[in-house]
Structure formats: C-alpha cells, structure tokens
Structure 1
Amino acid sequence: MRKETFCSYLWRKVYKEAPPYYCYYSLWVIMLKPIRKWFSAVLIPTIPFSNLRVQCYRWCGYKIGKNTFIGMRCYLDDMCYDLIEIGNDVIISYGVFFACHGRKQGHNKLVIRDGAYIGMNSSIIARSDDGIVIGKNAVVGACSLVNKSVADNSVVVGVPAKEISKVQ
C-alpha cells in the first residue's frame, strides 16, 4: 500500500473509490515532472553532441549502456523513463520513436540488448504486457514499425516489421 497523501485522502472522500496512481505523487514530483518531460522531449533531442545527448538522457533516469549512440530527434517515452533499458554498443539512428504506453493500455517495458542497430525513423512500440525486447546484435531497418519482440541476430524491416534474415 502506498503512503496516503492529501490528494489521495481527498479523492477517497469525494469519489468514494480508490484514487488513481497520480494522487500518490509528492509535491516535489508534481513540480519536477513537467521540467523533466520538457528536458527529455524538447531540449535533449536537439543537442548536437552525441555523448552529451546520451548523458542528458541518463540524467533524466533512462538506463543506457556504454558506447551507445542515440541520434538527434529521437523520442524516448518520457512518461516511462524507468521502463526503457538500452544495452551497450547500441546504435539508434536519427528520428527513432520509442513508446511504452498508449491509449487504453498499460505501461510496458522496452529493452534493447547489446549491439543492436535501429534504423532511421523507426518506431518501437511496446504494446504487449510482456513488453518488447530487441535482441542482441539485431538490426531494425529504416522506417520500420516494431510492435513485437525481435530475436537475437535478426534483421527486421517493414510495417509491421518482419524478419528477413539473420546477421552472420
């Protein structure tokens, strides 16, 4: 059980039901959340230096491994920064979109294993309850829509992404 807050107490008295998750946020979280969202969705994607861009994502709470490249204009889901894990030696090209949630769906985990490559303007959408795993050394082609897990050493392309071969 979460610690009761003024907001959750008020919700219980007025609506006579269990309060939603956001009623348990502290005042500090309520004040910092919009700042972190703006920083990760507006400012960081425009930073021209890759190492600084990756470090800023780490400061926002994303789990990003060593020697990882994240291109400009990428959108990492700012509501689920704690559900995105990016491994070591991963290359994420320009304009890739990551989503861990959607309308009438829960917040799901998104994992990118070591050595994966994600092509330009791809979309990675974690729509299943198990989340999405992009396997070790997997390649996602440009402009692909990945909505289910990708096996290790696979090459996937298309909308939705389908496996076309294995990486040697």
Structure 2
Amino acid sequence: MPAKEVLDFYGLKGPWGTFRYGVRFVWRFVLDKVAFFCFVKSWRTSIHRWRGVNIGKGVYIGHEVMFDRVFTDQIFIGDDTSVGDRTTITAHANIPSNTRLKKIYPRQIMQTRIGKGVWIMPNVIIAPGVTIGDEAVIATGSVVTKDVPPRCLVGGVPAKVLKDLSEHEAFKS
C-alpha cells in the first residue's frame, strides 16, 4: 500500500483511492521503462509527458533520463530545453522505511522547475525543489541542490556558479 502522505497529496481516500493510485503508479512505471529504452527522441518526450512530466515545446530528452517516479507532475521543463543522457530529476525526498530517521527527515515534495532554453549536460542530478533559470548551462556530472540563476554556467558537486553568461555577445541582441 502506498504511503498515506502520497494518497493525501493527491487527495485520494479509501480503498478506491488506493486502487486509483496503484493503477496510476503502475502506468507511470511502465511508461518510464518504455521511455528509458526508447531510441526515438520525439517518442521519448511524448512518453514522459504521458507519465505526467510537464514538458514545454521543442524539448530534447536524452537517453536513460530518470524523472521522479512518484511525483512526475511536480516537474516542469520550459521550452527549448535539452536534458542530457542519464540525468536524474527529482521532486521528492524521503526515507522509505519506518525508522526513527523518518522523523528527522520527513517526506518533502517540492516542485522542480527548469527554465526555457536550459542546457543540461549528461549525468546531472537535480534535487527536489530546485529552480533553474532560463538559458542556464549545467555542466556534466553536476549535482544541483540549490536554485540556479538565469544565463550562467554551473558545475561541480554540489553545483556552483562557474561563469556568468549574461554579458556574452550572444545575449546582446
């Protein structure tokens, strides 16, 4: 049975709510696996939309990209953004067991927002609740745990601003 807080988040109650959530979860899980192995980029993007990820127009989703499996509808990706291969984008964090750690680290569900024209290179991890500004670049292998300003290059673990791109001639027209 899914955690009570997941059912509460979606406003589902009783056995029928549990069943509806189970069907939704299995549907999203199956679509996740299909998208993971899909070699046609336009199909991959469409499949992730069907899973509930909010994806703008002209977005490229690379191979083996993982979106949050439970709260896919809390992820927003702006138009003309590219998400590199093997990137992970999450919208919640929790300890799934019923240990005392769950009292210290309760489930957190936060919208993750990626702006327009963002370039996310491969193998990036984006933590829940992060907002990435328009036209930002996220370097390969970065772990993004805090908001990223627009028009900058970030990289590292954890990701830090490496360069301000707003003064580049590409943005002066």
Report the alpha carbon displacement of residue 32 of structure 1 after superposing the two structures with TM. Answer: 3.2
Report the alpha carbon displacement of residue 27 of structure 1 after superposing the two structures with TM. Answer: 2.7
Report the alpha carbon displacement of residue 21 of structure 1 after superposing the two structures with TM. Answer: 4.6
Report the alpha carbon displacement of residue 82 of structure 1 after superposing the two structures with TM. Answer: 1.1
Counterpart in the other structure of 2:101:
none
CA distance 1:43–1:159, shift in 2 (3 Å) = same
Report the alpha carbon displacement of residue 29 of structure 1 after superposing the two structures with TM. Answer: 3.0
Say if 2:107 is the partner of 1:115: no
Counterpart in the other structure of 1:33:
25
Counterpart in the other structure of 1:13:
none
Say if 2:64 is the partner of 1:73: yes
Would you identify which runs of 4 or more consecutive aligned residues in structure 1 move more than 3 Å? none
Structure 1: runs of 5+ lacking an equivalent: 1-6, 8-18
Match of 1:135 among 133, 151, 167: 133
TM-score by length of 2: 0.79
Q: Is the 8 A contact 2:61 2:82 kept in 1?
A: yes
Counterpart in the other structure of 1:158:
156
Structure 2: runs of 5+ lacking an equivalent: 95-105, 169-173
Counterpart in the other structure of 1:3:
none
Query: In terms of Rg, which structure is larger?
Result: 1
Aligned-partner Cα distance in 1 for 2:126–2:5: 27
**1:82-132 C-alpha deviation (Å, 9 max, x unpaired):** 110000000111100111112233111100000001111010011xxxx21
Counterpart in the other structure of 1:60:
51
Say if 2:95 is the partner of 1:93: no
Q: Is the 8 A contact 2:75 2:90 kept in 1?
A: no
Identity of aligned residues (%): 25
Superposed CA RMSD in Å reads 1.7
- Aligned residue-pair number: 146
Aligned-partner Cα distance in 2 for 1:56–1:94: 16
Report the alpha carbon displacement of residue 20 of structure 1 after superposing the two structures with TM. Answer: 4.5
1:124 maps to amino acid: I
Report the alpha carbon displacement of residue 59 of structure 1 after superposing the two structures with TM. Answer: 1.2
Between stretches 69-78 and 95-104, larger displacement belongs to 95-104
